[in-house]
Amino acid sequence: MEGVDKVFNVKLRTRLLGLILFFALVLGFIGFQVMTELKKIDDSVTVLYEKSVSGLVALSDSKSSLQEMSRAALMYILSQDDGQREAMEKLISQQENAVYQAIANFEKVASDDVQKINIDQIKKRLVDYSTTVEIIKAKSKKGEFNNDYLNELTQKQISVFQNIQTLQNYQQKLSLTKYEESHDAYNKAHNFLLIIISVSILLAFVFGIAIYRSIMKPLWELTRIAKGLEEGDLRSEVKYTAKNEIGQAMAAFASATRNLRQLIVQIDETAQGVAQASTELSSAAEQTGEGANQVAVTVENLARATEAQMMQTESVKKAVEAMIEAVNKINESYQRAQADTDLTSRLAGDGQNYIDRAVAQMEQIKNSSYAMGDKVKGLGALSKQIGEIVDIISAIAEQTNLLALNAAIEAARAGEHGRGFAVVAEEVRKLAEQSGQSAQEIAALITGIQKGVEEAIVVMERGANEVNAGTQSIEISGKSFKEIMKSIDHLKAAMSEVGLSAQQIYQKSNEVQKSIAVTIQEFENTAAHTEEVSATAEEQAAAMEQMIASTSTLSNLAEELKSSVRKFKI
């Protein structure tokens, strides 16, 4: 129990910060373990690539180079061309170097004794195979080659292939082993993460429940006491004694409850004393108030006549003030109307200016339309002249064609002497036909132009008519604006007369108001002494009435206070 009390005495801030720090450490530990396992997996994959995969590639390259070397040796044996033999000899040397280089590359990543033993066997077989190739090359040059040498070379090649294949199979098995190790590392990391996450969730749940209960238990206790206070029960005692923030708050709440209990007791005692004193004070005030009321009634009868006359005068004064206020409103309305009239006049003037400019612009558009129509009509006249010229050209072409035909007939009659002239006549006839066709094409174009010109003239005339109509509409609008401006001028003159009349009424009303003020002052001076006496009596009576009302109110408040105090359970 002492350990539990120590835990509850720890400050709430410390507990929450401790919980956050705990989970931060747990997450850091999880992250460290995850990174460690991932590093192991990465190392396994790296080894798998550098040693297993690259080794398999090197062995595959050695087999390919050995096959190329064997093919080159066979081509060397079968070829009778010295140039081709020289090329095959270079290829044999290159592929032999490639085989040894591939074996050397594999030897760099070899890591166990089995690989090294196989590499030594492959090297020995390669030396034997290379020696056999050199012997066959020498025999082939001397012409002493036979199939026994070829069979021997094939057997040694197969032997080297078998050794390489054995090493390749071992390397594949080793790669599979590395893969299984990587997979096992992954499964181990996966299972470890599941365990860590499950434990973290369980710890979070346990610690969360513990902290939740340590925070909520005193809050529930505080809520229970607060509900008792709401119902007026001040007998509850706080039993939570922890020294954390909640304990301090509950201790302060308990102290406030004790102070409230003492205050309620004091209020109850004070309320009883106030109720008794207010009863005695009310009795004395009633006796004094009756004497003051009798004096006040006598003085009031004397003041009523004067007040009646003053009320009549006040009515006249109010009527005059209402009339002055009405005149002021008329004057204000006149000022606003005057401003609106000035604004309307200015806007109408601006509209008249815009209309004048629009009329001028429409006039310019109309003149431009007429000028353009004249030019288009001139273009139509020129088109007609061109058409007449084209007709003349067509007639000349027809006559030329007839003359050329007649010349050809005459040349035919002349026989051999007229053959040259016939050729010229034929060319002239062709030119005449071409001229006629060109003239027809030009005539067609001129006809289209004339049609377009006629349509343009119609459109221009229609546009000119619309411009005239628009100009007339704008001129009518201008006349309307002028009439509006005349009406506005008349309105301004009438408004000026209204303003002058309102000013005169205002001056007369002020004179009447001053006369009424003098009359009221005289009535007030006459009633002053009566009011002073009446006021003194009324003040005394009112003071007594207020005292009686205050004592009654005080008595009621004392009763209400006592009733309220009875609601509390002390």
529-546 residue pLDDT tens:
656 656 765 776 676 577
C-beta contacts of 460-468 below 8 A and 24+ residues apart: 460/369, 460/372, 460/373, 460/376, 461/373, 463/369, 464/366, 464/369, 464/370, 464/373, 467/362, 467/365, 467/366, 467/369, 468/366
Instruction: Please report which confidence band the pLDDT of residue 381 belongs to, taking 50, 70 and 90 as the band edges.
Output: confident
The CATH number that applies at residue 92 is: 1.20.120.1730
Instruction: Please report which confidence band the pLDDT of residue 111 belongs to, taking 50, 70 and 90 as the band edges.
Output: confident
DSSP-derived 3-state class of residue 420: helix
Instruction: Please report which confidence band the pLDDT of residue 391 belongs to, taking 50, 70 and 90 as the band edges.
Output: confident
Asked if 279 and 190 sit in the same domain, the reply is: no
Question: Is 325 among the domain residues?
Answer: yes
pTM for this model (two decimals) = 0.34
Asked if 203 and 277 sit in the same domain, the reply is: no
pLDDT of 396 reads: 76
Tokens 């411009």, located at residue: 467
Asked if 381 and 515 sit in the same domain, the reply is: yes
Q: pLDDT tens for residues 285-321?
A: 566 556 556 655 655 665 665 576 667 667 656 765 7
Question: Is 420 among the domain residues?
Answer: yes
DSSP-derived 3-state class of residue 233: strand
Asked if 372 and 267 sit in the same domain, the reply is: yes
Kindly tell me if the per-residue pLDDT of 113 is higher than 70.
yes
Asked if 76 and 185 sit in the same domain, the reply is: yes
Split into its structural domains, the chain has a count of 2
Asked if 202 and 141 sit in the same domain, the reply is: yes
Asked if 190 and 264 sit in the same domain, the reply is: no
Question: Is 237 among the domain residues?
Answer: no
Question: Is 109 among the domain residues?
Answer: yes
Last residue of a domain, one of 208, 243, 272: 208
Asked if 154 and 284 sit in the same domain, the reply is: no
Asked if 189 and 264 sit in the same domain, the reply is: no
Q: How far apart are CA 245 and CA 215, in angstroms?
A: 10
The CATH number that applies at residue 274 is: 1.10.287.950
Question: Is 249 among the domain residues?
Answer: no
- Dihedral over Cα of 340, 341, 346, 350: its sign: positive
Question: Is 244 among the domain residues?
Answer: no
Question: Is 169 among the domain residues?
Answer: yes
**Residue span of the structural domain in which 263 resides:** 259-566
The mean pLDDT of the chain is 72
Asked if 278 and 190 sit in the same domain, the reply is: no
Instruction: Please report which confidence band the pLDDT of residue 92 belongs to, taking 50, 70 and 90 as the band edges.
Output: confident
Q: pLDDT tens for residues 198-244?
A: 888 888 788 778 777 777 777 777 777 777 777 776 666 666 666 66
Residues 6+ apart with CB under 8 A from 224: 236
Asked if 152 and 62 sit in the same domain, the reply is: yes
pLDDT of 4 reads: 47
Question: Is 219 among the domain residues?
Answer: no
